[in-house]
Structure 1
Amino acid sequence: MSAAGPSRPREADAEAILRGGPQGFRALAEACQPVLLKGLCQDWPAVAAASRGWDELGAYLLAFDAGLKGEAFVGAPAIAGRYDYGDGPDGFNFTRQSLNLTETLARVGEAASDASLPSVYMGSLPADDYVPGFAADNLVDVLPALARPRIWVGNAGRVACHYDTFDNLACVVAGRRRFTLYPPDAVGDLYVGPIDHTLAGQPVSLAASAEPGDPRYPRFAAAAARAMVVELGPGDALYLPKLWWHQVDALEPANLLVNYWWDGFAAGPDSPYVTMMLAMIAIAERPEPERQAWRAFFDHYVFRTRGHPLAHLPPERHGLLGPLAQGAYGRIRAIAMRMLRGV
């Protein structure tokens, strides 16, 4: 990082965002840049319960508890909550256990009081399944209805640097969270691990988890110089656009975060990530000159670096390159599906 230290995401007026409703939030998100929203969730009953202590927060959550079990990470004290690759039988430095919410909250509380106990981390619990009623009691009115809350609970620890393929609003309920962010185009300097052997679904940066100056990752210094760092307290929220890399440190002995994932700019059900996977098998191992030729076509038709491909023709002659919402989406999708089926 530079001598001046890392930068911070820009901060927006949370009250103004709430007044602007979903359209105002969508306008904020169109810049595809992280935004700090201090106090966005400060009026939540869950935040009020957390302010009275871990036991009070636990009692609040368990009033909604459906009794379901989920997968928890359990780590020896020696890893200090930094769940990562390691020498375990599955290639990680932690074990996985099936726990319900009552057990998880109790074990987090116990480990928070006794550092000799294993740390516990359970994440991505769909609130509508695990604590039905929580979402209605703790609202974020600026998000689309399809954005549903997920709960992340655990001791002090670190979620390895990764990206999501959805837009993300992260709301701190208990404890403090530090987010270290890297832009999407830092991917080549982050030394990303395998995409099919991951901690929790998404590939992670090996360099961001390593000791500073690790000689295996010489390009990481370029990514570190572009990092943003921000710390959130209870009631604060952070908007993270899709594909932004983020390492998340839970800083207190016991912490709880609620997040929402959604695709704010989807024209239909098809995912850009699936498109990338198909492009990998169709293009990645072709000769370099041919890859460059396909890059030119992607730039022209997909990324549109010089504007609309048919800007030289009137809109009524754009055909398949007309607006997706006006029929082009279904027509292109039908053609692509026939091609994939070989018909």
Structure 2
Amino acid sequence: MQQIARINTQAADFDFARLTALGQPAVLTGWVDHLPALQAAKQGPAALAQYLRPLDNNTEMDTLLLAADTQGKVGYADTNLQQFNFERRRYPVWAVLKQLLRQMQQPDAVRIALQSARLDSCLPDFSRQNPMPGLSPDVVGRVWIGNQTVVPAHFDHSDNLACVLSGSRTFTLFPPEQAVNLYIGPLQSAPTGAPVSLVDMLNPDFARFPRYAKALEAAQQATLEPGDVLFLPALWWHHVQARTSFNLLVNYWWGGSVGSAAKAVSPYNALLHALLALNDCSSTERKQWQALFNYFVFHEDADNFSHIPPQTPAIQRELNSKDQQAILTWLLQELTKQAASDQTPQRPE
């Protein structure tokens, strides 16, 4: 397993835009040293909690609670992969911080994970005091607070900056094409909302998941300490282990379909639609559709459409905003008709 490259952002030749354009993971050092939240965190968890207390507007946010015997591993509670091993509650940030401080010395403490809480919803003044360098102010950050928890490998459809302010987190990353070796669970019942790997990456069962050994050959890993910022490109699978009894991370998604100002149509929706549309196709027909997708959608040959005059509109070559809206309207009409036709009439009561 490779170590994720570390880049000193104080170097004269550092270029954030060039880094993100490369689409490769990197750990940035020195990028957020000036942030007041990090300075507070360096004085310890209690100091960081006190810094955040007046910023908390008491809005309740999604929080996962896991029994200590789960070892904090977010996942399934049954072999049928239908039930999850956590309870979902809602608490304000300060309530979570207080509880974490209270139980820091308890080895059998309940595992807590306040996850993906928008900063503008719960700590509305945080971003003004702690702007993330390199990003537009329109990019809304999120905060993740907890103790020793583990999130299975999953992906997001946006570029991401993940900044550890307190504690320690190990990120294990896999390129998108490693999905075939990660044994992804059922899409309709994922504990994190995104598709997840079924491999326990802290204790992998190679007899059950032999191809995971291939995924490890392509894996990259880094343990982030306070002040480290991970650039995580869109669609990379990432397994995250929060290692200490008090952890706080802020992250920023931009672009794609999960960024704060995202307007793009999610390709994940297209994947689900393809599963639906091709469900009844034979293996032969699936291969035929695969060839058409490769040609029209994935543009395997850059010269695919040069035979069409440049001035002639061709949506397989380029989609303008008018084309996009027309396709969305047509798809909505077609899916609405399909959904209506598939409904079985209900017997009157």
Q: Which moved more, 1:125-134 or 1:182-191?
A: 182-191
Q: Return closer, same or farther for 1:137/1:18 CA change in 2, 3 Å cut-off.
A: farther
TM-score by length of 1: 0.87
Aligned to 1:187: 179
Which of 310, 319, 325 does residue 305 from structure 2 map onto? Answer: 310
Structure 2 regions of 5+ residues with no counterpart? 339-349
Distance 2:27 2:68 in 1: 32
Cα pair 1:85 1:93 within 8 Å, conserved:
yes
Deviation at 1:170, TM superposition (A): 0.6
For the aligned residue pairs, the C-alpha RMSD in angstroms reads 2.8
SS where residue 218 of structure 2 aligns? coil
CA contact (8 A) 1:161 1:246 kept: yes
The CA distance in 2 between the partners of 1:240 and 1:140, in whole Å, is 15
Letter in 2 for 1:97: R
What is the CA–CA distance in structure 2 between the aligned matches of 1:147 and 1:38, rounded to whole Å?
21
Contact 2:168 2:223 survives alignment (8 Å): yes
Match of 1:273 in 2: 268
- Could you say if the C-alpha distance between residues 146 and 284 of structure 1 is closer, same or farther in structure 2, counting changes exceeding 3 Å? farther
State the alpha-carbon separation in 1 of the partners of residues 326 and 11 from structure 2.
40
Note if 1:39 corresponds to 2:34. Answer: no
Per the alignment, do residues 43 and 326 of structure 1 end up closer, same or farther by CA in structure 2, a change over 3 Å counting? same
User: 1: CA distance between counterparts of 2:325 and 2:35?
Assistant: 41
What are the within-5 Å matches in structure 2 for residues 52-63 of structure 1? 52-63=43-54
| Residue 77 of structure 1, aligned match among 68, 77, 80 | 68
Where in structure 1 are there 5+ consecutive unaligned residues? 1-5
Return the alpha-carbon distance in structure 1 between the equivalents of residues 332 and 68 of structure 2. 51
What secondary structure, in the 3-state scheme, does the structure 2 residue paired with 1:170 have?
strand
Rounded Cα–Cα distance in structure 2 between residues aligned with 1:91 and 1:322:
44
How far apart, CA to CA, are the structure 2 residues paired with 1:90 and 1:189? Answer: 22
* Contact 1:85/1:91, CA 8 A, preserved across alignment: yes
Deviation at 1:336, TM superposition (A): 4.2
1:3 aligns with none
Q: 1:305 to 1:146 in 2, by over 3 A?
A: farther
Match of 1:98 in 2: 90
Within 5 A, what are the aligned runs for 1:1-343? 6-15=1-10, 20=15, 24-25=16-17, 27-86=18-77, 91-209=83-201, 211-263=203-255, 269-325=264-320, 328-337=323-332, 339-340=334-335
Number of residue-to-residue matches in the alignment: 334
Q: SS of the counterpart of 1:37? A: strand
Distance 2:235 2:215 in 1: 15
In the TM superposition, residue 39 of structure 1 has moved relative to its aligned partner by 2.4
CA 1:148 to 1:308, structure 2 compared with 1: closer, same or farther past 3 Å? farther
Secondary structure (helix, strand or coil) at the match of 1:124 reads strand
Aligned mates of 1:18, 1:126 — CA distance in 2: 33
> How far off its partner does 1:51 sit?
0.4
Structure 1 stretch displaced more, 83-92 or 104-113: 83-92
Residues 321, 217 of structure 1: alpha-carbon distance in 2 compared, 3 angstrom cutoff: closer
- Per the alignment, in what secondary structure is the counterpart of residue 115 of structure 1? coil
* C-alpha separation in 2, matches of 1:145 and 1:302: 33
Contact persistence 1:174–1:256 (CA under 8 A): yes
Aligned to 1:206, the other structure's residue is in SS state coil
Does 84-93 or 166-175 show the bigger shift? 84-93
Asked if structure 1 preserves the Cα contact closer than 8 Å seen for 2:206 and 2:213, the reply is no
Q: Please tell me the residue identity of whatever aligns with 1:304.
A: H
Larger proportion of helix:
1
Q: Secondary structure at the match of 2:264?
A: coil
Q: Answer whether contact 1:18 1:142 (CA < 8 A) is retained.
A: no
Distance change >3 Å, CA 85–CA 167, structure 1 → 2: same
How many angstroms apart in 1 are the aligned matches of 2:14 and 2:219? 31
Please, what TM-score do these two structures have when normalized by structure 2? 0.86
Displacement of 1:197: 1.8
Map Cα deviations across residues 276-319 of structure 1 (whole Å, 9 max, x no partner). 11111112431111111111111111111111431234421343
